[in-house]
Structure 1
Amino acid sequence: MPIDAEKAVAAEPRSTRISWDHKDVQLYHLGIGAGADPDRADPATDPGELRYTLESRLQVLPSFATVAGAGAGVVGGLSSPGIDVDLAAVLHGGQSVRVYRPIPVKGSAVQTSKVAAVYDKGKAAVLVLRTEAADDEGPLWTNDAQIFVRGEGGFGGERGPSERVAYPAVAPDRVVERPIRPDQALLYRLSGDWNPLHADPEFARLAGFDRPILHGLCTYGMTLKAVTDTVLGGDVTRIRSYRTRFVGVVFPGETLRIRMWTGKDHVRVEVRAVERDDAPVLGDTFVEHS
């Protein structure tokens, strides 16, 4: 069997030193649509967008942690002992990020990666790939990526936890729409996710899609930026954690409809694709903030 769950979880964590600077942060922000907010009259020069795109005013959206070091944590997890899977069978099922303090614009950290768990969902296996980063001042972030591997379930393992967000039975407090550029996946992949599923039509067809799909983590970043700008006054330092479950694909050129229910210290979020009759995209999405 390509996945040996016991061997994968027991393997020693892998550590590597990663570094980044303002160019990496700016490229990531551009990849998730910074500088193109349709709610701003002149988004390219609006002060609210310049804090994502101009080095002299730059702040770092916490979801940048998913691509810092070119996403080496997830890539390393998929090559861990006991893991041997076909990329065409791999889908990103969910993602969570917790930050312990603001991410610096320029930094260097030791990132430790491991397979935290392997769950049996019947028709698929789920790998929980955990990456933790720390610099000289202490912990920076913890990422958990839930990776679905189709056709690898049924080995008799635990099904794993099921975290669900209870949405209020009332209209959302905020609703915004964010268009996805036709070339957005091509730009986003420059931050390190080179899976051809997001660029190569032939590979996409082998994976069961009629054309390349957008990275789930691009939708993830776009959604956090929308919440930050709409609910948190654009202040990324207020974000404590952010989690989601990927429930549907997104195609470049579509529009995201982002619904938000606000609480005292959190925002519950749901994302749908406008052009496909509000097809669900992100579910069980929760932003914790100060």
Structure 2
Amino acid sequence: MPIDAAKALAAEPRIGEISWSHKDVQLYHLGIGAGVPATDPDELRYTLESGLHVLPSFATVAGAGSPGVIGGLSMPGVDVDLAHVLHGGQSLTLYRPLPAECTAASTTSRIAAVHDKGKAAVLVMRTDVADADGPLWTGDAQIYVRGEGGWGGDRGPSLRREAPAGPPDRTVERPIREDQALLYRLSGDRNPLHADPGFAKRAGFERPVLHGLCTYGMTLKAVVDTLLDGDVTRVRGYTTRFAGVVYPGETLRIRMWRGGDSGDGGADGDSDGDGGEVRVAVSTVERGDAPVLADTVVAHS
């Protein structure tokens, strides 16, 4: 079996160091569609180096996306075909706002879990990042490997949640440029699935697909801009399950529900209390609202 669960779980954590500049942050923001309209003050906070705000999902590409999904596939006990790999889900826990520049942050990465889903295996790649001032974030990438399950291992927890009740509080649509994946991949994820038509067909897709983490970033930006007053520092955590693919040129439909308060404030999740959450569902307009992101939650102050 190409995945040796015991070996993967017992492997020593990988310690590394990453850095980033405001240019990396700006490139990431452009890669998730920021900057339209180019002179809009609400967009300039993502694209202009003076007073640059850092969307927390930048954590998924900081240091050129290392270690991320590809890093998980190079861990001891893991030897799989990249064409059988999908990014199944992603979560982030934020400990404080991300700086626009960082000369040295330490990364500690390990396989935190290996789940047997029958027809597939799911690896959970956990990365903790800290700088000189302390912890910055913890990220979990759920790596779905087709054809590698069935060894009788633990199935792991279900990531599915009950659908939000009632109509969404807000619905927005976000167009995806034809070259969005080509721009986004410059932030570090060079998987040919997102650029090479031949590779995409071998992986079972009609053409290259958009990075799931690009949709992840576009969605968080929509939530921050729409329900969190544009304040990136209010985001405490962000989790999603990748439920379907997106093709460049399509349009995302992002539905948002204000969730219950997680502290002492009001039940609508606004900033009056200690914290709340926004539930989100994302689909593609052109394919009959085909689901893209599911079980998606943004925790906020």
Normalised-by-shorter TM-score class: over 0.9
Counterparts of residues 27-106 of structure 1 (less than 5 Å): 27-36=27-36, 43-74=37-68, 75-106=70-101
Helix, strand or coil at the partner of 1:230: helix
Whole-Å Cα distance in 1 between the matches of residues 135 and 120 of structure 2?
Answer: 33
* CA deviation profile, 1:131-157 (whole Å, cap 9, x unmatched): 110011110000000010000000111
Structure 1 gap segments, 5+ residues each = 37-42
- Contact 1:73-1:112 at 8 Å conserved across structures: no
Query: How far is the alpha carbon of 1:200 from its aligned partner?
Result: 0.1
Segments of 5+ residues of structure 2 without an aligned counterpart are: 260-268, 270-275
Task: Name the counterpart of 2:291.
Answer: 280
CA drift at 1:70: 1.1
Instruction: Give the equivalent residue in structure 1 for 2:14.
Output: 14
| Distance of 1:165 and 1:190 partners within structure 2 | 33
1:1-290 superposed matches below 5 A: 1-36=1-36, 43-74=37-68, 75-107=70-102, 108-263=104-259, 264=269, 265-290=276-301
- Over the aligned positions, Cα root-mean-square deviation in angstroms equals 0.7
What amino acid is aligned across from residue 17 of structure 2 in structure 1?
Answer: R
Q: Secondary structure at the match of 1:143?
A: strand
Q: Provide the C-alpha distance between the structure 1 equivalents of 2:19 and 2:119, rounded to a whole number of angstroms.
A: 38
TM-score w.r.t. the length of structure 2 is: 0.93
TM-aligned CA deviation for residue 57 of structure 1: 2.0
Q: Indicate the SS of the match to 1:24.
A: helix
Q: Is the 8 A contact 1:11 1:114 kept in 2?
A: yes
Q: What stretches of structure 1 move > 2 A for 4+ residues in a row?
A: 163-169
Q: CA deviation at 1:85?
A: 0.9
| Displacement of 1:277 | 0.4
The residue matched to 1:146 in structure 2 has which SS? strand
How far residue 76 of structure 1 moved from its aligned partner, in angstroms, is: 2.2
Which stretch has the larger CA shift, 209-218 or 162-171? 162-171
Distance 1:276 1:168 in 2: 22
Offset at 1:44? 0.4
Percent of counterpart pairs with the same letter?
Answer: 75
The 8 Å contact of residues 115 and 123 in structure 2, kept in 1 or not, is answered as yes
Normalising to structure 1: TM-score of the pair?
0.97
Tell me which residue corresponds to 1:39: none
Cα distance in 1 for residues equivalent to 2:18 and 2:286: 39
Q: Indicate if the aligned counterparts of 2:159 and 2:241 stay in contact, CA closer than 8 A.
A: no
The Cα offsets for residues 54-102 of structure 1, whole Å up to 9 and x where unpaired, read as 0002011110000011111223221010001111000000000111000
Moved more, 68-77 or 278-287: 68-77
